Structure formats: structure tokens, C-alpha cells
Structure 1
Amino acid sequence: MAGDTDNPRLWEGADLYVAPVGTTAPTDIVGPLDEAWLAAGLLSEDGASESRDQDSTDHYAWGGKLVRTTKSKHKRTIKVTCLEDNLVVFGLVNPGSTATTTGGVTTRTVKIPKTDPRGFLLELRDGEVTKRRILPKGEVTEVGEVTLSDSALQAYELTITILPAADDTLYIDITDDPQAAVPTTP
């Protein structure tokens, strides 16, 4: 059987960080993050999921022979569920809203959501292997139903739509995973 049983990844830990678009992103997996990167807090054990969507059109020659397929309207999203109701998550769920604290009492004024692109960084860990996925620009475009009950955790399921950079870059992965290494040529 081909393959290596050390290669499959089971991401045992993860953190989601959020920063203004243009914030200095890390260039390695061990260096500290710029102080503008703020943690979203605890994430659901369900992990994060990436979805892809695009239109494809098949083009045929006379007689029905497929000669080309073109692709358009490519879209990627990442879905993650935040378990905390902290200021970072509040800002992602309610962009354009405000919160103030006076005398230990916080007042949140929730307004109609505004466009609010941000930088996102998802840091994943599997034992000694770390991966930082940097989304230079994305936006929370969907928030799932929030349950308020005594039998289920209050959670915020966020769908982050990844917006491409001018050079079409969607995200950058930085990892020390040996299976991702590019072989060097002598």
C-alpha cells in the first residue's frame, strides 16, 4: 500500500484571528502575530470547513465532441463556529454596531450590518505540525441561527467569503508539515 500513515492530518487545535485588511501577516509559523490580530476565542469542536463554488461551461465541436471547459464565478468560503460572545465575535456578527461599558454594565447597540472586510488567520495544530492559513481579505457574509437555550451552547456559525487580492491570491498557507515540502533540485 502506497502512502505514509504520518501524513493524514487531524487538526487537534485551532484559533481564528481577525485584523483590519492590510495588517502585517506572519511570514512563519512561530513568530508572534502583530498586535492588531485579535483572537475570536473558543471555536466549536466541529472545526472549520472550506467550500468552493464556480460555474463551468462545456464547449463542444460539431458532432458533440467536448473541446473545452471554461470556468467562471469562482467563490470560496470558510465556515467556523465561535463559542464566545466577546467583542471580536460581536463585531463580526454585527458589523457597524457599537458596544460601550460603564460601571461594569455593557450596552450593545445592534444596527443593520455594514460591509466590513477584514483579514483572517486560521491557525491549526496537529501535534508538532502547525499551519497558518492567512486570508488577506474576507468578509463574514452569513451568520447561522443563534440558539438561546438551557440545553445548547450559544454559538455563532460564521461563513467567511474569501475575497481575492489584485493578483488573484485567495489565501496563503504557511506550514512546517513535512509532506507539504517542495523538493529541492540539486
Structure 2
Amino acid sequence: MTLNANEVRVGGTGRVLVAEPGTDIPGATDPLPEGTWQDLGFTNEEGVTFTKSDSLEPVASWQHTAPVRLAYSEREFTLTFALLQINQHTLSFFFGDREATKDGPVTRAELRGNPQPDERALLVEFTDGDVTSRFVVPRGIVTESEDVQITRSAAVQLGLTFQALAPLGDPDSPMAVWLTHDPSDSAETG
């Protein structure tokens, strides 16, 4: 591989969207179908953090003191970000309340004592000049919420962690997909 500064990406500007779990994964620059993906609005300036964590267990043998192989015992993939807008869609996502309502000027989202899993698909899109990247998790759930601080001098932030779940049905389906469209890179590399 050669050094190529044109392949260095900067997050530039982006957005976070949610849809029903299992929603079709769009192409890197395909228009998103109307009414399918809900934009969650402003996020804080830290953007989105992806974390991939694999647990591998050593397989020992009678013949060797070192493991003869490693076997996957767990794979975890999470995205962490903080929403800045407070509305029906962001509160519904943060609280896991699919029944959040908007009645005139009043938005109501409830944090229930008997929660039900609120699975969603998540799409992170960002641009760097004319390069567009999309990162899609077809099925996941909000697993952690950061402390929400309400102060006189800072925006309220809904910080959360979204964890990818195994695909339903086909076990070979991806947990996550990263698509990048770079108009200047049309040649295949090997």
C-alpha cells in the first residue's frame, strides 16, 4: 500500500438518523427513502465514537504451552454520541419510548419501569469535501445513557450508547456496514 493523503478522512459535517430495524441499507450516496430514516438533528461537536471490542478465548492443547488457536467468544460494537435537540424523536430514542407523543406544543416521553426493547436501525453519515461516508447498523438498541446536566450556561445533551445486535434471520448478514463514495477514486486497487 502506498501513502495517499487523499484517503485520509476528516469527519467534516454529518448527521445521525434512525429507522425501523432491518430497514434496507442504502448505498453511499443513494437518496434516503422519504419517511424511512428520521434525522435526530444536532449532535455535540465531539461527533460519533465507534468502538469495536472482540473477546477471544485461547484454545489450549496437551501438546503446547501456548494456545493453538483463538476462538471468538463475544463481539461488541457500539456508537456513542450526544444529541442536542430536545423533541419527540430524540426523547423517544433516548428513553426507548416508542409511544412518545407530540400534541400541539407539548411533547411527552415516558421512562417506564417495565421497559420493552426499543430496537432501531442507525445510520451515521458524514462528508469530507466531495467524499460521502455512511455507516449503518441494521439492528441495535440504546444500552447506556450519560448523565443529563441542566445548567444555566450550557446546552442540555442527551448522551447515549447504541449497541449493534446480531442480525435476525441470516447469520451471515452484517452487524454494521461502512460505505464510502469517493468520486476521485474510480480505479480498483489490489
**Same fold flag (TM > 0.5):** yes
CA–CA distance in structure 2, aligned partners of residues 123 and 169 of structure 1: 18
For residue 168 of structure 1, report the CA deviation from its aligned partner. Answer: 4.3
CA–CA distance in structure 2, aligned partners of residues 119 and 180 of structure 1: 29
8 Å Cα contact 2:130-2:183 kept in structure 1: no
8 Å Cα contact 1:7-1:179 kept in structure 2: no
| Stretch moving more, 92-101 or 45-54 | 92-101
Q: 1:145 aligns with which of 124, 144, 147?
A: 147
Per-residue Cα deviation, 1:6-49 (whole angstroms, up to 9, x for no partner): 22111111111111113333234142334221100001110111
8 Å Cα contact 2:52-2:77 kept in structure 1: yes
Secondary structure of the residue aligned to 1:18 is: strand
Structure 1 residue ranges, 4+ long, deviating more than 4 angstroms after superposition: 178-182
Q: Name the residue aligned to 1:131.
A: 133
Q: Name the residue aligned to 1:172.
A: 177
Secondary structure of the residue aligned to 1:66 is: coil
| Stretch moving more, 71-80 or 29-38 | 29-38
CA–CA distance in structure 2, aligned partners of residues 181 and 170 of structure 1: 27
- The one-letter code matched in structure 2 to 1:39 is D
Unaligned runs of 5+ in 1: none
For residue 63 of structure 1, report the CA deviation from its aligned partner. Answer: 4.6
For residue 129 of structure 1, report the CA deviation from its aligned partner. Answer: 0.6
- The one-letter code matched in structure 2 to 1:50 is F
CA–CA distance in structure 1, aligned partners of residues 65 and 25 of structure 2: 49
Secondary structure of the residue aligned to 1:71 is: strand
Unaligned runs of 5+ in 2: none
In structure 2, do the counterparts of structure 1 residues 55 and 107 end up closer, same or farther at CA, with 3 Å as the change threshold? closer
Q: Give RMSD over aligned pairs.
A: 2.4
CA–CA distance in structure 2, aligned partners of residues 72 and 180 of structure 1: 37
8 Å Cα contact 1:47-1:80 kept in structure 2: yes
CA–CA distance in structure 1, aligned partners of residues 57 and 187 of structure 2: 33
- The one-letter code matched in structure 2 to 1:172 is V
In structure 2, do the counterparts of structure 1 residues 141 and 181 end up closer, same or farther at CA, with 3 Å as the change threshold? farther
Q: Name the residue aligned to 2:37.
A: 37
Q: TM-score, normalised by structure 1?
A: 0.86
For residue 99 of structure 1, report the CA deviation from its aligned partner. Answer: 2.7
8 Å Cα contact 1:81-1:158 kept in structure 2: yes
8 Å Cα contact 2:88-2:102 kept in structure 1: no
In structure 2, do the counterparts of structure 1 residues 182 and 60 end up closer, same or farther at CA, with 3 Å as the change threshold? farther
8 Å Cα contact 2:91-2:109 kept in structure 1: no
Secondary structure of the residue aligned to 1:88 is: helix
Secondary structure of the residue aligned to 1:6 is: helix
CA–CA distance in structure 2, aligned partners of residues 119 and 182 of structure 1: 32
| Stretch moving more, 174-183 or 83-92 | 174-183
CA–CA distance in structure 2, aligned partners of residues 70 and 4 of structure 1: 35
Aligned length: 183
Identity fraction in percent: 24
